[in-house]
Structure 1
Amino acid sequence: MRALTLTLVLLLASLQTHAQKEGQALIDSLVSELPRAKNDTLKGRLYKRIADEYFFIDTKMALAYARRGLAHVKAMPWERGIGVFNTSMARAFSDMGNIDSCMYYNQQALEVFRNMGDTYNMSTTFNNIGVAQANIASNYPEAIRYYLLGLKEAEKQGDKYLMANANDNVGSIYLAQKNYPKALLYSTKALKLREQLEASDIYNISREVGNSLNSLGSIYYQMKDTAASRRYFGKAALMHERAGNVEGLAKAYGSLASLESRNFEARLTYGRKAEQLWEEVNPAHIEAANNLGSMGSAYLEMYRSHFLPKGIANPSQLLKQAEQYLRRAIKVSEENGDISYKSHFTGVLAEVQEQRGDFRNAYYNFRAYKAVEDSLFSQEEKNKIAGLEGEREIALRDKQIEINTLELDARKRQQWLLTGGLLLLAAIGALLYRQNRLRNRTNVQLLRLNNELDEANQVKARFFAILSHDLRSPVANLVNFLHLQKEAPDLMTPEAAEMHQKRLTDSAESLVETMESMLLWSKSQMQQFRPQARRIAVDDLFDYIRKFFAGTDCITFKYHNPETLSVLADEDYLRTIMQNLTNNAVKALKMTPSAQIHWEAKEEGGQVVLSVTDNGPGASEEQLNALYDGSAAIGIKSGLGLHLIRDLAKAISCQVSARSNAGKGMVFSLVLVKA
């Protein structure tokens, strides 16, 4: 009997509302919950639970839901979910016999769980890799190595579910090696652990106990104890039928067919039931190949016993049916990469060919069968497996001896050093504690002073850079015009005087605007000042901006706020940010025909996004550097510009970004808390 692939579960809250349903009814109930999932995490759990249940009914559907779930958790992103769904993908490919894809997804999952330190899911993944090595590659030493790694992690946690799965899998390897006492030992441990499981939505107890009963039935069958084998398989069938486990029921029927050695009618009945169930759940499963091969063997035995079942009139038809079933079994085994079943049924096919008189092919097939059997069940393979288990037992004993030795040594040292050592340690400890407190206190003070000095230097550098550029330019224009008017008033025509007068007025207004912005920026740099957050209607904000730029000619302003949104922020800070963004857009559109500025407010992900879009020439990455880099040079043509926007936005916890508008113009966006 082959080891069952483990079901990996999300270590999160279970979905208790479905606890009383099983099989397809449970799946239908879970699928109906998907559209109503309250959040992405719950939706991910639903995908995982649906995939887990489909593994016992329809492997292709299990793969489909595992793939959907993996895409969903990657988009979230959810690290543990990514690991879990990688394991589900691996399980599906394992059931389909695709060793390469199975190992790829298992390794991906193992890497995720190792990085997280998730020992529970590491244990499950080790077991899954062991299943793939045993069922697909027939590499028994490698399989048992992974099973023992999984058992080690499970024992650390004391998790009965994981320990049961690991023990059951180890037992299956010993069964394949015909070491029946060891197989019984591990499989019985697994059954006892599963019987101790408490009812949970994570696993189906009937299904788990049924799996153990199948394993024990297989062992007793190999031991020729048909009475015990029939008892265990019969109980397993009832358990799997109760759990709605099509895969487990198919295995049980296939095993019951094998028990009906000379009762050919019953043997065919059970075998056909198993064949029908495997066609329904997963015709590519390795146990489906086992059932097909058993059917082929049954037809060969009927031919030798001169027994003709209903519907067959000619004995030669029995050999034809036997060959057809055996070739199908060999093909499925080959697709799964299973050497053991392929070899065994090749040997049976050789016997059929011998009966049909095809001695040449019978010889070649028998020789191939013997070569593989000698390799798989050689003493060397048995020694490797025994060595791996021996290493584990020795490692456990050595660890316990080491622990005991350390405990004895520690007690001896405590006895010798207890009296004098305690006083000495107390004195040294008190001294070190006092020194440590003084040093920590000094370090904290120095760190705080250094931080304050750094911040003061940065603010000072920005302040003088702004003064040197943004205030000096308009003041210089004002002084130059006054000197010209005083010293050579006759040199200016009335038109020139009017033009200079306008320039002077513009410079003075720009100076006032810059000073106001500078004062607000300076306030934002002072630690004792804090923005006063309150509810701001976006409509009121844009009314203020519209009035501010009411005299701007040649530019069309548009405003869009269909949801009548409000934000939570400091009104003065936010007005200044939006005013500067709009002012920058106005300056950028001076030479643009059909100039437009579009203000928009919309809700995204529970937050409000305010955007200012223009159709101007755009800006280079160097020009936008000051929006993100606090160390960027200060003094671009737009005055305080992006520096002011950056610092004020930071003060009110607002995210600012800029991007090109489809290759023409710019889009500046603010992300704020919705009021």
Structure 2
Amino acid sequence: MMKSITIISFIFFTAVLFGQNDGIKTIDSLKLILQTEKNIDSIIKINNTIAINIKNHISLDDAVTHLHKNVKFSKKHKREFGVGESYLILGHIYIIKAEHDSSSYYLTKSISIFKNSPLKNKLARAYYLKSIVYQMQSDFSNQLKYALLAQEFAEQSKDYTLITDSANALSMYYLDQHKYNEALVQAKKCVKYALLSKKENRINVSYMGIAETYRLLKDTVNANHFFEKSYKGTKANNQKFEIAWILTNWAKLKPNAEALQMRLEARDMWDQHQVNPMNIHNNGMIGILYLSMYDAESDSTKKINYLLNAEKHLTSTIEKAENINDLINLIELNKSLSRLYSIKKDYEKAFFYLEKSNLLNDSLNSQEIKNSLAKLESQKEIQLRDKEIQLNKLTLETKEKQKWIYIGGILLLGIIGSLLFYQSRNRQKTNQKLQLLNSELDQANKVKTRFFSILNHDLRSPVANLIHFLHLQKDNPELMDEATKNRMQNKTISGAENLLSSMEDILLWSKGQMENFKPEPKKVSVNQLFEDNKKVFSGYQNITFDYQNPDAVELFTDENYLKTIIRNLTSNAINVFTTTPKPTIICKAWQENGKSYLTISDNGPGASQEQFKALYDDKEVVGIKSGLGLHLIRDLAKAINCEIAVDSKLGEGTSFILTFDNSTKSQRNIL
């Protein structure tokens, strides 16, 4: 199910947008008043009111043009608050247009004007709209900051409408953070002050907010009650925009056929008003709904039709979401499209869209880590440039020596033979040094590339989770109840332990890249290896692990190298389980014809041989989902004289086969 992050609060602050029925007549009446009005302040207020009505009933772009003229007029007559009011309305319009940078620019200017003024209601409105901008940009910290400021100044101004709006903004923040009980407190406050404001459109919309809160609390009785109450009110008040919102969210409680009818009706209303966030959410939900209908349908013709409709809505909606950088909707849309292509057995596209979803999700949480890695890479580049400077300096010194040798040869013809011999010998030594430095530079480049690739692959996600929790604990400890804190602490501890294991693997691999570092082979019990592996992956309760060693096999090899190989292959197997029913991993060991064999098999989707190229090609640095892990496995297996092969069939699963030669000669090779 798609998140409601940019949907619920967006409707609330646009409740005024289409609520007036006589807008055109109002504009004409106000223009007549302007013809005889002489007071500057009154002219500015009338022009701002005209702009609001143009925005609501004619065109957003025409309203922008009218407001810019009013800003110019206000500045000419030095009416700062008139300018601030126009900026406030411009910020509102650019939110509706989903142009977040422009909206933030005008709201910031408006806040700077009203911050030191007695007009606390204007400041509260600006803070409220600013919180909406940050909500749409998934900047939850700033969303909460400005929503709290909006509520503080709304209560100071004793404006029931503003208190209603700010309570709604906080309710939506808590919904986005899955803190539904806190959201319910704010939703009830929203209803209370909406009733006190006696504004029908605000009352109807406040019922929507509390209905959505009850829906997310899984209280379907209260949710349906308030949706129906809101629906009747908006119908009677002819609030088409709000009706579309109700249908969009109420549909989540309805059976597929009824839900689809509601969403199609809502889509027609959103299209009339061209509100992009609403179109994106509703159209995306239509696509997901068609996927659900595909699952429930037995007729093959209907199933094909549902799948085609799902693909059509999801792909077109992704394009719209990308145009406004709607990250939250993009994460869910790409994940749903990945599932669709998995159903169609187009695993390449399924993997592509799943990766897009994961990358977008990472971008919300791991920017700090990316910056750290970029800094590390920059430092490495500086070191490489220093080596290049040394090479150039050495080359210049060589040329200088050659020049003096040539001059000496001309002047000292009697000893030209000796000089030529010296020159030749000196050049040979210099070239050897140059070749050695070039070789070291090339090797450093390769190791750097591998090292940072592995860092990015194996460490980024656990470090991101750890940092996210620490920031949350530091900045907003009051937002976490005891159960959430314990769950997050347990998750962080588990992530830190996995991170330590990954760091040990990477350290082992990096040692293997060092000159003169060799494995330390000894007799290793496969049963003990299996026991260690079982402990590492004991947290995956949804996956069946089966360990088989009927011959009680023992191997002569380096225990740490082999542990790392088995752990990485098991981790890769776990990563391929996305839609696999009854996921199973089998680890098996046996002896045959003087050789020992160890396999790690899964019943996942499988892959082509091309995707396992990293196991065999030293130049290959990518593979399947955990391709960089394959690169690490390849190097470790080579170090302990272990042959590794893969047998993968699409739709059936994958097996990695490790082969160990039990002969004395092979054991000596390891030593």
TM-score, scaled to structure 2: 0.50
